[in-house]
A and B are shown apart, each in its own frame.
Chain A
Amino acid sequence: ETGVTQSPTHLIKTRGQQVTLRCSSQSGHNTVSWYQQALGQGPQFIFQYYREEENGRGNFPPRFSGLQFPNYSSELNVNALELDDSALYLCASSLKYGELFFGEGSRLTVL
């Protein structure tokens, strides 16, 4: 049984650019949640996808968007990058309403 995998593990972008982060959910899981963890802080909920639709959203602007595919994998897209977007982005898969299983994260640096 494969766990949650994320790519890329590290990336560097400049202000104003766009980034796409990817997540493959654990086998059998149909729900993907994304979290942003700034340095020295706890993770913050960005949004959740279930059956290819956004199912819930935290306090993040519309330039944070996502997709979920029929195989339940997911993408997080961030447009018009700002310096404050530098963070570890964590993906977690679960069954709907079930326990979260986190991936290793994608560390984004915005210069």
Chain B
Amino acid sequence: ELKVEQNPLFLSMQEGKNYTIYCNYSTTSDRLYWYRQDPGKSLESLFVLLSNGAVKQEGRLMASLDTKARLSTLHITAAVHDLSATYFCAVDIEGRYSGGGADGLTFGKGTHLIIQP
């Protein structure tokens, strides 16, 4: 059974600080996804990482993937209050598709991030 573990599950930090969220998974998939969810809202796709060594950046967020270590990181640089949300990583068990595979995505429990002014 595929397991996806995130840590920390809860993070409170101050604006301007840097921090990293970790996502470990138990399969050999080389495709990993990061989503953001605001309270009561749906999932917003942040990054799709499709190969070992992939690195993507958008604003203050940067995601990377190490398929050998089965580890992805989401790094937050100089955090701002607007980044407060819950962040999920998800793995495609088939490892070949972009999320729409027949086995769906397996999600971590999420990291609840609060950034205080």
Contacts and interface: CB of A to CB of B under 8 A. Distances in A.
A43 B44 CA distance: 13
A41 B103 contact: no
B48 interface: yes
Interface residues of B, number: 24
B105 A45 contact: yes
A33 to B, nearest CB: 6
A73 interface: no
B103 A42 contact: no
A42 B104 contact: no
A56 B97 CA distance: 14
Contact of B48 (A43, A55, A99, A103): A99
Interface of B: 4, 41-45, 48, 88, 90, 96-110
Interface of A: 31, 33, 35, 40-45, 48, 50, 55-56, 58, 90, 92, 94-105
